[in-house]
Every structure is written in structure tokens, then in C-alpha cells.
Structure 1
């Protein structure tokens, strides 16, 4: 009887104990500036996309394109923890309608209509050769990750429509927001009760200020609308405005992030609600076209938003973030960021051209506040540090792991090899340090003792020159 009773109690409490363990283990680390992989090991192709939560799953829809950047699929993935993404379906394909046979489909967003029980997808539609159509398109499905039925494309109330997003308010009213008038304006449209058509235009925001890539969300009683300016595939300074009524008066625009929004453009802002509250996750794309690739080469940048007041928000850079979807807590990686100022020149170590590419050179440049001049000297516990660039998440390396004098200092994917390990050696009687590569025993050096902007950093036999001496300064 004791055995039976113990077994019954164990069966009763084990799920609870397992639940506690699962909640504790729910924190995952997401590395930015990478191509995410799904649970089968394939690249997640969900660019320009949006997320909808249904039950315990987050469903992520996005662009999956052909090699020439034309439309192939809107793909959908699902995840419980926002890291392990399971491919579910090509929700919309070229075969769905003749006008999708040679087309461009961008920024698909899915809404659930509680009154009809339908999932409604809105997207930006163009022909495959240019951006002359400027149309919105709609598709519907009775299941979130099912095959969507294409309902056609049109210009909302006769207006041009390019980058779009959608939003469902607390009262169930649906809205579509799109870049209009050759991207000069942002229009907010109220949708019909079934979310499949336009009922009326309720706003024309920031007319003439060239806005695209909108993302609308609500926090407390305040609406936030985040968007970028227009610079093709290249990243730029993003800005936001606020209002207490979506149809009321909106504020002016305020900058967020740095001048290139950490090398990304807005796709979506996702509220992540859990037992510990609600965090707001910025989801951005680092477009492959901006670094010589295609849309399907694009990488993802996800960052937590912070709110100093009810109507202001900020966003800092972080190569990694920690996400706990169960508690709703999202935090940047814990790191102390520092600048490295050369003693001889007074200029800072800098990843040239704010590059995110592997093997990009390090230079000296006038000190500023760019994240490409911020580094984390991570203590490896071996007498050496790993030096990670804040903007790219890549590590200071010696090109080709060369041991020769004059080998260039570059950034590369962090891999722990000895050419990425550096000894920090204090210069006696000063506040300066030398940085000595473990594999070669040579020092980080400014080429030819130059004081000019753009001079390459290299490794060179260690000496007493001030062009090998660096001042570490903690940055915000």
C-alpha cells in the first residue's frame, strides 16, 4: 500500500516538479547578426516578418525568396522559447495565384480575427521586375500554419502601399499601416470587421519625412510606432513616435539606437508576456543585399526595448540576448564594454566602415560613440582575454593566424583559437596596456606609428613604442 501511495503521489507531483525545471531552463541565448537555423538545421527564412502567438506557440511568418529576390514562399515557423524554431509550412506559394508567379512579396503579417475564426495575412505586393505596383495583398486561412488562400492585391483607397505592418487593438479593431506616396508618408487604415479590406484611412503621419519598415505596438495606454527612413537595403537611423489614441495626435519623431540601428531595419516588435511581466522585443533584419548577398542571406538582429518613461523608449546594442519566454524577461548579454585609445595618436581602435563581415580590418579612427569602437575584453580565466566587437559580435583576430610582423588585425567569428586570445600587459608607471597575441607573442600595433585616421592595426614585435599602448575606458 505504501508503494502504491508513493507512486500515486509521485505521479501527482512529478509534472509540477518538471514544470519548475522547465521554467528554470527556459532562458535561452540568441546570438545576433547570424542566420538562425530551424530545428532541422536549415536556415530560417522569415525575413521582414511578423509573429503571432497562438496557444503556447509563437508563429513566425516571413519572406523566403528566390535567388533573384523574387517571391518564392511566405514560410511559417513555430517556437515555444523563441529560439528553437520548427518549420511548419510554406503558408503562401507562387502556385496560390497567377499574379504570384513572378512577383515580389514583402513584410507578411498575420492577424487573428476572433469573430470569423480566420487568420488574415497582409503583405506588400509588387511585380517581379520593379516597384511600380505599390499594392497591398491579402490571404486567409482557418489555421495559423495552414495553406493560405490568396484574395488578391490592390491600392488601399487608391493610395500607393509599400512596407506594411498590422495591429489589433484591445477592442478587436484591426489596423494596417503602410508606407505611401512613394514612401514619403505613413498611412494608418482601419480594417473592415473581417480584417480583409480597408474601411477608412485614419492617419497620415509625418508627411514628407520618408518613412518605411513600420512596427506598431501598444504598451499600457500608449501606442508606439517605430520606423526607418529610406536608404535602399542599407541600414539607417530609426525613429519612433507615440500617441495615446491611434486616431488622435501623434508626437514628433525621436531617434532610437545608433545612426544605423546597429546594422538593422525594423521588421516587428513582439510583446513577450510571462509570469514576470512583459518585455518588448525589437526584431530586425540585417539585409543580405547590404553586404553583397540576397534577401535569403540576411541575418537577424533582436534587441530588448527599454522604457525610461511611459512615452519614451531606448534600445542598446548587444551581440547576444537572453530570452525567457516563460517569465517574459529579455535581457542583453552581461558585458563591460570598453574603448581602446592609442597613446600615440589619441585615436580609437575601430572596425572599419562599421563592417559586420568576417576578416574586416581594424583601424584607428577619431573616437566617437559608435558600437564599432566598443569591445568586451572577456576574461578567459587562462591569463588571456577574448576581445569582442560590440556592433558585430565578432572577435579581434590576426589575419590568417599569421605569426609574422605586419599581419593585419581583423574581426572574425569567435572560435577560441589562440590568434583570438590576447594577454593584457600593464605598461609600468602608466594607465596604458599592451595587447599581446597568444599565438605569436606580438603586440597590437598602429602601422608605422601613424597618427592618421584610417591607419591599419597590425601585430608587431613588442617594444616600447606608444603606438603599442592602449588606454581602456569603460563606455555606456
Structure 2
């Protein structure tokens, strides 16, 4: 008897014995959680980079489908669709919409695509933010439809919903089958909530306006009868503080005020979607964010994925904690974070000039906006202690805030001119408050203002106390080199 037949006979005999004794057959071993490497690009099962930025997710049967942007530089190339059963290993399925799908789409910007299923019509419907590829003056939504989730979508055109401008957007289907578009309007100062028509292809009515809050990148989910609207501030590609509002009466409200989730840059990400992961052990809620490449001088195609389990301190509150690894068991419905060496937290540091040996200082620890930064003899005082808040954990690009005042370094008046003064201002995540730490000679760093490309230096190569800190053309001279302690 062959080894295979002996094993088969042994298994059969064991099964017969188990049945004879009235014992239950042993349960199959549970699948192990799969590790998700957070804050990275994702490679699909064919070994290619996955491009599903600004995306959304839906589940069909036991399979998750992730749809998102693929760009040619900054312009629309495709809306790409990927599938997975474990939320970690993704297989490319199709470019469901492309620049060749319609003359209107070449050139174009197609951003934040979302797909929902209409149970009434049996159709899959895609909505996205659409621009003309030249400027952002269109501010429209685009609509396409397919009979299958990963098929070629038939482009139905673009329009402004009820005449309102529309930029960052998402879709949400409530438990009663009603579908909604939530989009940034009034040049991103408002968020409008629209009810869709029964076929999900048009707008039925405007049902709520978040007026004047300057929020974008919306994502909506419902948990235990509470609806959460997750948003970012409007600071372009630069990440900022995620905030959310809640209601038990979607969408009309009353809505709560805005509350913070995550740190000041949401760990270098901007929200795009919240996925509900339901399985045998319960339900988890997965925050999905984009760590946009232009934050560090890259392109949208360089962007990375930040996915985080959402915690709920109460039924009407949520929180986000950085984890470098997630253990995801999609069958069980569990998403557990694993703390790594990168925690995304700001860290205290000093900036010592290589030419003078003096430290960057906020004179007198003043909390006044516009206070000019100077150099001064180093001492262990809070006016010389700063926190570097990276746009994502481990990045050398970020905001720099004084521990005494809480104000951020700021190239004043957003000037791009050589010699412009550097001071402090209330933190707002603008490009003139983002600085790159670039390696220089002798283990030092150059500090490069991201909006201007100029380097911070001690004016005039002075070695005296109170000399001003300014930006200037990068030369690598000693007065532009900084020993950055604590990195």
C-alpha cells in the first residue's frame, strides 16, 4: 500500500471510530491572521505596484473589491480595481474606466472614485470627482455603470450636482438602500449631502449642508445606530488633523461638533474610506488613508497606504492610534494593531548651527504669531526645544513646533524670496510650515522649506546671539548646516 493510501485509510478509520464513539469531528484549524505592513506601497499578487489611491471598497460575497486612482503624472490614466479575500493580498482585476473610455476623459482628472451596488437595478455604479485636466474649474461629478463589479464601466458623463461645485467626495448606502453623495462644495468651504435617485445615477435632492467648516476628503460609516462623518482639513496634498462628527439621524442631524482623531497629520495621511470588516468573531472598522507622494516631493503614483483599526472610547466617539503592522483576520472580522519602532509621535530636538555653535531659539519663549526665530547660546530651556512632526512616521519632512509655545516654524508671508524671515505661527500644515531635513556634511542636515526650496541659515553667517534665521539659496555652507539632536 502506498504512503498516500495508508494516510487515506488511517483518516477513514479515525472518522469511523469518532462516529462510533459519538464524538464530534475536530473543527478545522482557524486561518491565521495576515500581517499588513502599514504606511507603505502595496504590491499586488502579480508583483506590480497597486494603484488604488483616493479609493473605496465594497464587498461582494466573501470578496473585497478595492477601487482607486491610477494617474499618469498628475492626470487621469485609469480607475483600477483589485480584489482580495483577506484584505492584505490584492489581485489586479481590471482598469474599469480609462482615459480612452470617453473623449471627455482625455485629458481629465478623475479623483476619489467610489463604487456602490444598487440592489434594485442589479447594477454597479461608480461616482468620482471630475476635472478637465487643465485646471480645477469644472468641479463636477462623473458617473459610470456596469453589470459586474470588475467589468468595463459605461461612462454616463459629468455634471455639477444641482448646480453646486463638487470636489472631494464619497458615496454611502444606508441600511434602507437609500444612497447618498457627500461632496466638498463652495470651493471646499462646505460639505453637501445629496440623496441619489433610485437608480443611483443622479441627484434627487440636497438634504444637508455643513456650512463653512472647510472640510474635505469625506468618509461615512454607521455603527450601533451612530453615523460617523470622517473628514480632513483642506491643505492640498499636505496631511492634517482628521476630524469627525456624529449623528443618530443621518443625514439631517442634529450633528455633533467636530472632534479630532489621530495626531496633527493623521500619521501623514488623508482619509478616503472606512471599511466595515464583519466575520465570525464580530465587526471591525478600518480607517483607510492616503499618504500622498507630493508631501515629500513625489507624485500621486508614489503615494502610500495608511490603514488603521478604529477604536471607540464610547458609542459616539472614535480614536486612531498608529500601528506599524496590522494583523487582519477577515474571516473573523478582526483587525489588530501591532506597535512597532515607528510610532509617529513628535520628538523633542534642538537645532545647533555648525558655523556658530548656537541654537535656534524663540526669543523669550514668546507665544506671539510672527515672532522671529533667532540663534542664541544653547541652554536647556523650552524656547530652544522643538518637536518634529513628520508627515508620516520615519519621514524627514514635517512641521517643527516649539515646545514652549506650540507654534510652528513658518516662512512668514509664505515668501519664496531669498532672505525672507523665518518665524513662528499657529500650525496650519501649509507648505511654508513644512521643512525637509536633508543629509549634509559631517552628519549635519540642511533644512529646506518645502514651498520655496530654499535652505534655512543664520543671516550673514553671524556667530552672534540674536542673529536672525532666514531662508536662502541652498549652498551647503556652514551657516546652513545644522546638528539636529534627537533624530
User: Structures share a fold, TM > 0.5?
Assistant: yes
Mapped contact 1:109–1:165 kept (Cα < 8 A): yes
State the match for 1:51 in structure 2. Answer: 57
1:323 to 325, 328, 332: 328
Q: Distance in 2 between matches of 1:134 and 1:362?
A: 30
State the match for 2:199 in structure 1. Answer: 194
State the match for 2:413 in structure 1. Answer: none
Q: Distance in 2 between matches of 1:456 and 1:281?
A: 36
State the match for 2:214 in structure 1. Answer: 210
2:228 to 224, 227, 232: 224
State the match for 1:267 in structure 2. Answer: 272
Q: Distance in 2 between matches of 1:183 and 1:293?
A: 24
CA-CA distance at 1:119 after TM superposition: 0.4
CA-CA distance at 1:20 after TM superposition: 3.4
CA-CA distance at 1:209 after TM superposition: 1.2
Matched, 1:345 2:363: no
Q: Where do 1:88-127 residues align within 5 Å?
A: 88-127=93-132
State the match for 2:422 in structure 1. Answer: none
Q: Deviations over 1:380-399 (max 9, x none)?
A: xxxxxxxxxxxxxxxxxxx9
Q: Where do 1:59-458 residues align within 5 Å?
A: 59-67=65-73, 69-205=74-210, 207-246=211-250, 247-334=252-339, 345=380, 352=388, 354=390, 356=392, 360=396, 407=443, 455-457=483-485
CA-CA distance at 1:292 after TM superposition: 0.7
Q: Distance in 1 between matches of 2:131 and 2:44?
A: 28
Q: Distance in 2 between matches of 1:350 and 1:319?
A: 24
Q: Deviations over 1:176-214 (max 9, x none)?
A: 111111111111111111111111111002x11111100
Mapped contact 1:28–1:324 kept (Cα < 8 A): yes
CA-CA distance at 1:90 after TM superposition: 0.3
Q: What is the aligned-residue RMSD (CA, Å)?
A: 3.5
Gaps of 5+ in 1: 371-398, 411-453, 460-476
Distance 1:111-1:266 versus aligned 2 partners, 3 A rule: same
Q: Distance in 2 between matches of 1:339 and 1:289?
A: 21
Q: Distance in 1 between matches of 2:260 and 2:283?
A: 23
| TM-score, normalising length: structure 1 | 0.72
Distance 1:358-1:260 versus aligned 2 partners, 3 A rule: closer
Q: Deviations over 1:2-45 (max 9, x none)?
A: 9769549769x9xx999833x332x1221222111101111110
Gaps of 5+ in 2: 1-5, 19-23, 351-378, 407-437, 447-481
Q: Distance in 2 between matches of 1:233 and 1:222?
A: 30
Q: Distance in 2 between matches of 1:327 and 1:148?
A: 32
Matched, 1:20 2:28: yes
Mapped contact 1:214–1:226 kept (Cα < 8 A): yes
Q: Distance in 1 between matches of 2:75 and 2:208?
A: 31
2:277 is paired with a residue of what secondary structure?
A: strand
Mapped contact 1:191–1:197 kept (Cα < 8 A): yes
Mapped contact 1:351–1:362 kept (Cα < 8 A): no
1:282 is paired with a residue of what secondary structure?
A: strand
Q: Deviations over 1:108-151 (max 9, x none)?
A: 00000111110001100000011000001111111111111101
Q: Distance in 1 between matches of 2:308 and 2:393?
A: 20
Distance 1:306-1:7 versus aligned 2 partners, 3 A rule: same
| TM-score, normalising length: structure 2 | 0.70
The runs of at least 4 consecutive aligned structure 1 residues that moved more than 4 Å come to: 2-6, 8-11, 16-19, 335-344, 346-353, 355-359, 361-368
CA-CA distance at 1:49 after TM superposition: 0.1
Distance 1:212-1:192 versus aligned 2 partners, 3 A rule: same
1:157 is paired with a residue of what secondary structure?
A: helix
Q: Distance in 2 between matches of 1:353 and 1:298?
A: 19
